Amino acid sequence: MLYNQGHTPMPIANWARYGLAATLATAAGGVLIYRRKPGINHDAAPARSARHRRRFGDYRVTGATVTIRATPEQIRACWQGNAQLWPELEYLPFPEGNQPDLLLPPSELRDMASRPLLTRIVAEREDELVAWRSEGDGHADMHGRLRFRDNGAKGTAVEVIMAVRPHHFASAWKTEAMMAEALELGLLRDLRRLRMLIETGEIATARMRPDAA
Partner 1 sequence: MRAATFQGKGDIDVRQMPDPAIVNPRDCIIEVTSTAICGSDLHLYDGVIPGVEKDDILGHEFMGRVVAVGKESTLEVGQRVVVPFTIFCGQCFHCSEQRYSNCDNSCPVEDQEVAEKAFGHPMAGMFGYSHLTGGFAGGQAEYVRIPYSDVVPLVVPEDIPDERLLFLSDILPTGWMAALNAEIAPGDTIAVWGCGPVGLFTILSAFQQKAGRVIAIDGVKGRLDMAEQLGAEPVNFHETDILDALKQMTGGIGPDAVIDAVGMEAHGIAIDNMADRVKQAVGIGQDRAHVLRQAIMACRKGGRVSVPGVYGGKADLFPLGAMMQKGLQLRTGQTHVRRYTAELLDLIERDVIDPSFLISHRLPLDEAATGYRNFRDQQDEWIKVVMHP
Footprint on this chain of partner 1 (rule: CB under 8 A):
67, 69, 154-155, 185, 189, 192-193, 195-196, 199-210, 212
User: Which CB, 26 or 205, lies closer to partner 1?
Assistant: 205
- Nearer residue to partner 1 within complex by CB, 105 or 186: 186
CB of 72 to partner 1, least distance (A): 17
Identify which of residues 67 and 80 has a Cβ nearer to partner 1 in the complex: 67
Smaller CB separation from partner 1, 129 or 185? 185
CB of 85 to partner 1, least distance (A): 12
Please tell me the distance from the alpha carbon of residue 102 to that of residue 121, in angstroms, as a whole number.
6
10 vs 208, beta carbon nearer partner 1: 208
Rounded to an integer, what distance in angstroms lies between the CA atom of residue 69 and that of residue 115? 38
Residue 51 beta carbon to partner 1: minimum distance, rounded to whole angstroms: 19
**Phi, psi (deg, nearest 5) at residue 130:** -130, 130
In angstroms, the CA 132 to CA 85 distance is 19
157 neighbors 65 (Cβ within 8 angstroms): yes
Interatomic CA distance for residues 195 and 111, integer angstroms? 25
Query: Helices 72-81 and 176-200 meet at what angle, rounded to 10?
Result: 110
CB of 129 to partner 1, least distance (A): 23
- Measured from the CB of residue 208, what is the shortest distance to partner 1 in angstroms? 4
**Other CB atoms within 10 A of residue 50 CB:** 13
Radius of gyration of the chain (CA): 21
Name the amino acid, one letter, at 166. Answer: P
